[in-house]
Amino acid sequence: MKAGIAIGSNLGDRAAAVARAFAFLARLSPGHCLCSPVYETAPVDCPPGSGGFLNAAAEIDFAGSPGELLARLHEHERSEGRGREGGEKERNAPRAIDLDILYFGDRTIDEAGLVIPHPRMKGRRFVMEPLAAIVPGLIFPGETRTVGEILGDLKD
């Protein structure tokens, strides 16, 4: 199943963290891994004083379930020093790496801790721009516009 993953880092060696995330995702999907360019973006909805982000996106093939993919992404985040025990101290707090499932084939999921397609991605240029670089013609479940069209409709 093709899955889209958003990648973000705004703490520590951001470029190295994004590169390690790309390598990790390529190992999860040895047959298919599309990786976007990396974009530098201002923090959005983050605590005051948060540093800028490096953002990217990837599309991989994943043979397991969405829950299994989420567990693997969280495992990688923990290996990079991101703690999730008890949730983030602050919403959108600075982090060495953030990996979010954007889509998982044509599946829609609305469970505690896992909502697919990602509920806020269509309003976030820092997600849609990297995604449009790799899958501009993709249409999310329940959507009529392509990723490229959604990006084009976003205000700066």
Domain containing 97 — which CATH number? 3.30.70.560
Active site residue 95: yes
Domain count, the chain: 1
* 127 occurs within a structural domain: no
Which distant-in-sequence residues (6+ apart) come within 8 Å of 120 by Cβ?
none
Does the pLDDT of residue 17 top 70, yes or no? yes
pLDDT per residue as tens digits for the range 118-142: 999 999 999 999 999 999 999 999 9
Does the pLDDT of residue 85 top 60, yes or no? no
* 131 occurs within a structural domain: no
* 18 occurs within a structural domain: yes
Active site residue 100: yes
Does the pLDDT of residue 79 top 50, yes or no? yes
pLDDT per residue as tens digits for the range 98-114: 999 999 999 999 998 89
Distance CA 47, CA 58 (A): 26
Catalytic: which of 20, 72, 100, 125? 100
Give the model's pLDDT for residue 147: 97
Q: How far is CA 137 from CA 53, 89, 116, 149, 151, in A?
A: 26, 37, 18, 8, 11
* 104 occurs within a structural domain: yes
Distance CA 118, CA 115 (A): 6
Active site residue 82: yes
Give the model's pLDDT for residue 83: 61
Active site residue 61: no
Tell me the three state secondary structure of residue 92: coil
Question: Residue 101 belongs to what domain range?
Answer: 2-120
* 62 occurs within a structural domain: yes
- Higher pLDDT: 130 or 50? It is 130
* 47 occurs within a structural domain: yes
Give the model's pLDDT for residue 87: 44
